[in-house]
């Protein structure tokens, strides 16, 4: 007998953690942080339901913090085993985990200042040095190469096309009589047409499928992203303004650069238009996107062999230091600025908001989801002014949205990925808000006659 414990991302999209208990060994699949409002974040402080020192190893599907960000905490609580991940994931973790640690320390200082922590001084969940220590436990496992983690239990990473290094897992477990149980954990599944990365490989034949359902109730709009981006940049340029794009440092920034490169190379935008990449993390991630060419799809691989590399056009300007970032406040010519954070909550983009929002020549262009409670969402909802660094800033700039960019498969893409299967697997739907999860369950029933389970957080399934 063995067990799987659903420890997070059940009815929500954060805190992905699944514990497999087999032959007295404990393997954790993903080790995500709960993110969002204060109540959700509080879940990170709950006692881990199992002694971390008794976890044999962690298999990571990808580097996003909601899948990896609890690792430093787990380490702090005694976990010292291997963290198996793809080389691309290991690279991104070097950026993302220390950054998450810094953020935890910053939040603790803020809680102290505001006096809302029950502890004096307030404690961070983990620190930057905890994060740096757990990085040493990373064990790089290439795509497609099966790895035995304990005798009789083997896993393989397959391309998921979600961000650099992202994978879904195929896990094979030996049973009596030479039989196997095959589990597939989808992780976060990307879309078939990522401009840089290989598309998700098809799901292998499996007995059990743990499937994400982020967009289980939705279809992505089929917009012509290139045409929309071209229009907004031209319109803003005609006013002599700058297009400010808050973008996630990992993947969205690099994806946008390729779309921009398409427009420059096709002569749809003047090659003299400067594009500033003003985020140290986005620049570090960009280097990894340039380096890990084995993850490129065929079309992008062919382009990348030519010079200049599409992610390094001569008019793409990295902005590393703070002085360079400040200099962008007084730009006189039309330009594009890509800056993080993607939801305008923290990061250098906040400084740009102070200078660009009060001026109607400029455009603030949203290219990703804006969660409730974030500054980005308030601007998008049409608030006439927003507070930036304690200052009320009027919103006079144009506010525009570039729809159609998503790092997650929509409901049809999820369905297409999961099928065909020779027989109905046992399906567990995870990583989706309740309506999305219910939507996907209904779709699977209607189209495939598949039943699916929607595990509650903490639920244990025995097999």
Build a one-symbol-per-residue string for 47-76: x at contacts with Zn ion by CB under 5 A, - elsewhere.
-----------------x------------
Residue placing its CB nearer to Zn ion in the complex, 64 or 375? 64
Q: Phi first, then psi: what are they for 418, rounded to 5°? A: -75, -15
Residue placing its CB nearer to Zn ion in the complex, 64 or 172? 64
Give min distance, CB of 115 to Zn ion, in A: 35
Burial of 438 (0-12, 13-18, 19+ CB in 10 A): middle
Give min distance, CB of 381 to Zn ion, in A: 25
Residue placing its CB nearer to Zn ion in the complex, 191 or 351? 191
Give min distance, CB of 187 to Zn ion, in A: 7
- Cα–Cα distance, 333 to 315 (Å, whole number): 14
Q: Scanning residues 173 to 192, which ones bind Zn ion (CB under 5 A)?
A: 188
Give min distance, CB of 108 to Zn ion, in A: 26
Which residues are bridge partners to 138 per DSSP? 83
In whole angstroms, what separates CA 226 from the centre of its chain? Answer: 23
Residue placing its CB nearer to Zn ion in the complex, 261 or 405? 405
- Cα–Cα distance, 361 to 358 (Å, whole number): 9
- Cα–Cα distance, 101 to 166 (Å, whole number): 22
Nearest alpha carbon to residue 330 among 226, 397, 208, 242: 242
Residue placing its CB nearer to Zn ion in the complex, 348 or 408? 408
**DSSP characters over 262-296:** HHHHTTSS-TTS-EEEE-HHHHHHHHHHHH-GGGB
**DSSP characters over 326-371:** HHGGG--S-EEEEES-TTSSSSTHHHHHHHHTT-TT-EEEE-S---
- Cα–Cα distance, 134 to 86 (Å, whole number): 16
Give min distance, CB of 30 to Zn ion, in A: 10
Give min distance, CB of 197 to Zn ion, in A: 13
Give min distance, CB of 65 to Zn ion, in A: 9
- 30 contributes a contact to Zn ion by CB under 5 A: no
Q: Scanning residues 265 to 324, which ones bind Zn ion (CB under 5 A)?
A: none
Give min distance, CB of 406 to Zn ion, in A: 11
- Cα–Cα distance, 400 to 73 (Å, whole number): 39
Residue placing its CB nearer to Zn ion in the complex, 170 or 188? 188
Q: Scanning residues 94 to 123, which ones bind Zn ion (CB under 5 A)?
A: none
Burial of 428 (0-12, 13-18, 19+ CB in 10 A): buried
Virtual CA dihedral for 4, 40, 409, 216, nearest 10 degrees? 80
Residue placing its CB nearer to Zn ion in the complex, 17 or 64? 64
Q: Which helix (H) or strand (E) segment is 154 a member of?
A: strand 153-159
Residue placing its CB nearer to Zn ion in the complex, 76 or 411? 411
Give min distance, CB of 162 to Zn ion, in A: 5
- Cα–Cα distance, 274 to 296 (Å, whole number): 26
Give min distance, CB of 160 to Zn ion, in A: 9
- Cα–Cα distance, 455 to 302 (Å, whole number): 43
Q: Are 264 and 315 in contact (CB under 8 A)?
A: yes
* Non-local CB neighbours of 77 within 8 Å, separated by 6+ positions: 48, 52, 53
Give min distance, CB of 217 to Zn ion, in A: 18
Number of residues that bind Zn ion (CB under 5 A): 2
Give min distance, CB of 122 to Zn ion, in A: 29
Residue placing its CB nearer to Zn ion in the complex, 2 or 369? 369
- Cα–Cα distance, 278 to 325 (Å, whole number): 6
Which ranges constitute the DSSP H helices of 55-213? 65-68, 71-76, 87-114, 128-135
* Non-local CB neighbours of 62 within 8 Å, separated by 6+ positions: 68, 85, 89, 92, 160, 162, 163, 165, 166, 167, 187, 188
Residue placing its CB nearer to Zn ion in the complex, 32 or 455? 32
Residue placing its CB nearer to Zn ion in the complex, 99 or 188? 188
Residue placing its CB nearer to Zn ion in the complex, 160 or 209? 160
Enumerate binding residues for Zn ion (CB under 5 A). 64, 188
């Amino acid at each position: 007998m063995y067990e799987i414990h659903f420890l997070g991302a059940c009815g929500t999209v954060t805190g992905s953690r699944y514990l497999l208990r087999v032959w007295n060994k404990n393997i954790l699949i993903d080790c995500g942080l709960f993110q969002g409002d204060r109540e959700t974040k509080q879940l990170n402080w709950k006692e881990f339901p199992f002694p971390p020192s008794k976890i044999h190893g962690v298999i990571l599907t990808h580097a996003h913090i909601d899948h990896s960000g609890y690792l430093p905490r787990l380490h702090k609580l005694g976990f010292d085993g291997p963290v198996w991940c793809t080389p691309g994931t290991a690279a991104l973790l070097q950026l993302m985990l220390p950054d998450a640690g810094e953020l935890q320390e910053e939040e603790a200082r803020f809680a102290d200042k505001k006096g809302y922590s029950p502890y004096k001084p307030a404690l961070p969940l983990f620190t930057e040095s905890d994060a740096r220590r757990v990085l040493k436990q990373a064990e790089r496992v290439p795509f497609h190469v099966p790895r035995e983690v304990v005798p009789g239990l083997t896993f393989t990473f397959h391309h998921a096309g979600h961000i650099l290094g992202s994978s879904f897992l195929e896990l094979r477990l030996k049973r009596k009589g030479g039989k196997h149980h095959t589990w597939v954990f989808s992780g976060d599944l990307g879309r078939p047409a990522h401009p840089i990365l290989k598309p998700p490989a098809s799901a292998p034949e499996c007995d059990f499928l743990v499937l994400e359902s982020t967009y289980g109730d939705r279809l992505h709009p089929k917009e012509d992203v290139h045409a929309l981006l071209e229009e907004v940049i031209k319109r803003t340029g005609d006013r002599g303004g700058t297009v400010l794009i808050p973008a996630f440092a990992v993947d969205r920034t690099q994806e946008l650069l390729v779309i921009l490169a398409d427009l420059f190379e096709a002569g749809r935008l003047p090659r003299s238009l400067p594009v500033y990449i003003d985020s140290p993390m986005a620049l570090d991630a960009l280097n990894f996107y340039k380096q890990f060419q084995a993850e490129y799809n065929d079309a992008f691989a062919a382009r990348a062999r030519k010079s200049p590399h599409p992610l390094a056009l001569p008019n793409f300007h990295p902005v590393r230091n703070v002085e360079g970032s400040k200099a962008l406040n007084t730009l006189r010519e039309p330009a594009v600025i890509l800056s993080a954070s993607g939801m305008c909550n923290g990061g250098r983009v906040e400084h740009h908001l102070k200078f660009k929002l009060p001026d109607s020549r400029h455009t603030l262009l949203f290219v990703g989801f804006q969660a409730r409670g974030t500054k980005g969402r308030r601007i998008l909802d049409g608030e006439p002014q927003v507070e930036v660094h304690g200052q009320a800033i009027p919103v006079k700039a144009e506010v525009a949205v570039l729809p159609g960019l998503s790092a997650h498969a929509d409901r049809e893409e999820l369905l297409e990925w999961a099928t065909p299967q020779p027989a109905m697997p046992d399906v567990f739907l995870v990583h989706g808000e309740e309506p999305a999860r219910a939507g996907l369950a209904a779709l699977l029933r209607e189209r495939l006659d598949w039943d699916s389970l929607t595990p509650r957080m903490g639920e244990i399934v025995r097999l």
